[in-house]
A and B are shown apart, each in its own frame.
Chain A
Amino acid sequence: MTERTAETPTTEQGPDSRPPRRARNGVSAAAPARHVPENGARGSGRTFTIVAWTVLIIFAVLWLIPSLWAIKTSLTDNGVSAVGAGAILKDWNLTFASYFTLLSAGNIWNWYLASFVTAALTTIFAVLFSAMAAYALSRLRFRGRNVIFLLFIGGILVPPQVLIVPIFQMLNIGGLLNTYWAVILPQIPTVVSVFVFKQFFDGIPRDFEESARIDGAGYWRSFRSIIMPLSRPVMAAMAIVTFVGTWNNLILPLFVLSNPKLMTIPVGLATVQGSYGQRLSDIQASSILGALPLVILFLIFQRRIVEGFAGSGLKG
């Protein structure tokens, strides 16, 4: 269902208060002929458009300033940035020195590795296991199914952050502290994705499987070769949401990882401010480097990411 809304072009949604514009870009050819009254509405439509665009652009610029500021600072010499905001603005001798320092000496490669390994493994397990659970709840009828379903609904009410102390205790007893597993395992039960998957599986007609079953395919086979391929868009959306969520999780790795070599990016960045002191350009470069993989991910999967988050939010 997420995919269908994704393919509805947003641009078609605009109320038709801008007839000249529509005529110019040819959208009106596809849209039904429209009668625009001559009284008042047209004039206020134009005012509205101007006000709307002004407000939107002002806010978009405001929203971009912090990131641009961080980028500019990271490209400035540490000595200059220590002087203050005015000096950073005036100095246009851009330098990549901070990036070179961090990439050659810092722990950043360890952090990237830790974040990548933990986020990727969590995502694989979480998506596969929650899709399997959703398949059972959606396609298979068996006793106890409704009880399990209610139990899962209950899980949505539990904010994982609140469980940090008992989870730490368990990992401690299990001897898993300071291993990647301590970050991966607790994040595997993603209840929301079970619901998103179930919702989607409920909409797939039974006939798809029936014919395969007549040919002798088992449940695992029909899950793997019929249901999973059909749900690729949902899988992608859930995978992205899980990946971004685990990549960015701070509270869990913060308390279960203390070895700097194993730290994920958020935990590593949290230690940066103390260790870099007054080297403001280095600090900003590290925040840019920490954010970079996700910005790249966003640029590649723009639509999927946006739809994925919208889908998960509407269900959770």
Chain B
Amino acid sequence: MTATAEIQSAPVARPTRDDESGSPRTKGMSRAGWLFLVPFGVFYVLFLIWPVIYMLITSFFNTTMIRNGFGGFAGFANYQEMLTKPEFWSAMWHTIQFTIYTTPPLVILAFVFAVLANRAQHGQWFFRLAFFVPFILPSAAIALIWTFIFTPGTGLWNSFQTLLGDDAPLPVLGTPSIAMVGIAITTVWWTIGFNFVLYLAGLQDIPRELYEAAAVDGASPWQQIRSITIPLLGRTTTLVILLQIVASMKIFDQVYLMTAGGPGISTQVLLGLVTNTAFTDYRVGAASAASVLLFIVILLITLVRQLIVRAQERREATR
């Protein structure tokens, strides 16, 4: 493609910083800089910064959907309510439960698929199609397909279990103890493509000379994976794990579409609790408090990620 040729012709040189100050152009450049920032900046302030501030403010008020304005000042009452409410902790637990169910398979299977597919000289398009396409489909389509597979009595999964000799298989999405497992399986199927692709990209950065040298020394493919691939993909793995945890903590679509939090509240997750509190109970203040708490959890995970990445970078620099 022509686009590719253009990129490769662009040598990678760091821009010089000679015009940082003092030049007569600085003034015009400063104005141009702000003008270029304005369009994005307006939307950034309107739909990111302001909502965050608004969320923080309303979490201290008895704001409601029904009346305009912030409503009466509530202090920490909304937070206190959330932190002492069993529904909040059960939603928190379900969110964590979902994260625990999905993260290990989504990391390990993605790694295995990528290492194997990377060896496939032909037909890689087939594996990309099989593993990656579900990821770009709408969650609503995924939910329709999997709800149908899990339908008690007539669904594919129940028929399969009956075939194996289980006369009365449990309805997956209708049984409190396993409904979340059903949602987790759906999610692993749906989203593995993203991690698969991240691992494939990471694999391409490993110099093949390493494998060649190892092969010359008589290392078997198993040994090569253990002592070359896994250590060199360390940073990718950290990235995949932490991106995955953050993504899993934000789970909403699958639960809303497949079980609506049921049976009972056995699959209710934090974002579900937030939207229910806001759009069913009309309690914006309480919903904001719950959002802030979820936000803090996600923020903490992201900060841990930053720390780990920095530590890894430092270790690599000293090596």
Give chain B's interface secondary structure class: helix
Whether B29 pairs with A219 at a CB distance below 8 angstroms is yes
Query: How many chain B residues touch A (Cβ–Cβ < 8 Å)?
Result: 129
Contact with A along B125-164 (1 / 0, CB 8 A): 1111111111111111111111111000111101110000
Q: Of the candidates A69, A145, A186, A295, which one forms a contact with B33 in the assembled complex, judged by CB atoms under 8 Å apart?
A: A145
What residues on A are CB-neighbors of B48 within 8 Å?
155, 158, 160, 163, 189, 191
Segment at the interface with A among B72-80, B84-92, B170-178, B274-282: B274-282
Whether B26 pairs with A165 at a CB distance below 8 angstroms is no
Residues facing B in A257-316 (CB within 8 A) are: 265-270, 272-273, 280, 283-284, 286-288, 290-291, 294-295, 297-298, 302, 305-307, 309-310, 313-314, 316
Return A240 CB to nearest CB of chain B, in Å: 9
Contact with A along B9-40 (1 / 0, CB 8 A): 01111111101110000100110111011011
Whether A40 pairs with B138 at a CB distance below 8 angstroms is no
Q: How far is the CA of A194 from the CA of B160 in the complex (A)?
A: 48
Give chain A's interface secondary structure class: helix
Q: Of the candidates B7, B36, B138, B288, which one forms a contact with A132 in the assembled complex, judged by CB atoms under 8 Å apart?
A: B36
Query: How many chain A residues touch B (Cβ–Cβ < 8 Å)?
Result: 138
Q: How far is the CA of A37 from the CA of B212 in the complex (A)?
A: 11
What residues on A are CB-neighbors of B166 within 8 Å?
none
Segment at the interface with A among B93-101, B199-207, B310-318: B199-207
Determine if B308 is an interface residue (Cβ-Cβ < 8 Å). Answer: no
Q: A15-B224, A169-B54 are in contact. Are A69 and B149 (CB under 8 A)?
A: yes
Whether B145 pairs with A166 at a CB distance below 8 angstroms is no
What residues on A are CB-neighbors of B212 within 8 Å?
15-16, 32, 34
What residues on B are CB-neighbors of A34 within 8 Å?
212, 215-216
Q: How far is the CA of A152 from the CA of B49 in the complex (A)?
A: 10
Q: Of the candidates A63, A137, A283, A284, which one forms a contact with B131 in the assembled complex, judged by CB atoms under 8 Å apart?
A: A63
Return B161 CB to nearest CB of chain A, in Å: 11
Determine if A94 is an interface residue (Cβ-Cβ < 8 Å). Answer: no
What residues on A are CB-neighbors of B36 within 8 Å?
132-133, 135-136, 140, 219, 223
Whether A60 pairs with B149 at a CB distance below 8 angstroms is no
Whether B211 pairs with A16 at a CB distance below 8 angstroms is yes
Q: A17-B215, A310-B198 are in contact. Are A3 and B278 (CB under 8 A)?
A: no
Whether A11 pairs with B278 at a CB distance below 8 angstroms is no
Determine if A5 is an interface residue (Cβ-Cβ < 8 Å). Answer: yes
Whether A302 pairs with B128 at a CB distance below 8 angstroms is yes
Q: Of the candidates A137, A148, A233, A283, which one forms a contact with B144 in the assembled complex, judged by CB atoms under 8 Å apart?
A: A283
New A-B contacts (8) at CB < 8 Å, excluding given A14-B121, A160-B48, A161-B271:
A10-B204, A66-B134, A129-B43, A141-B17, A163-B48, A248-B139, A295-B133, A310-B201
A-B contact pairs, 16 of them (CB 8 A): A17-B215, A59-B109, A66-B134, A85-B159, A132-B36, A137-B37, A188-B43, A191-B48, A204-B15, A233-B7, A255-B279, A269-B144, A284-B148, A290-B137, A298-B136, A313-B198
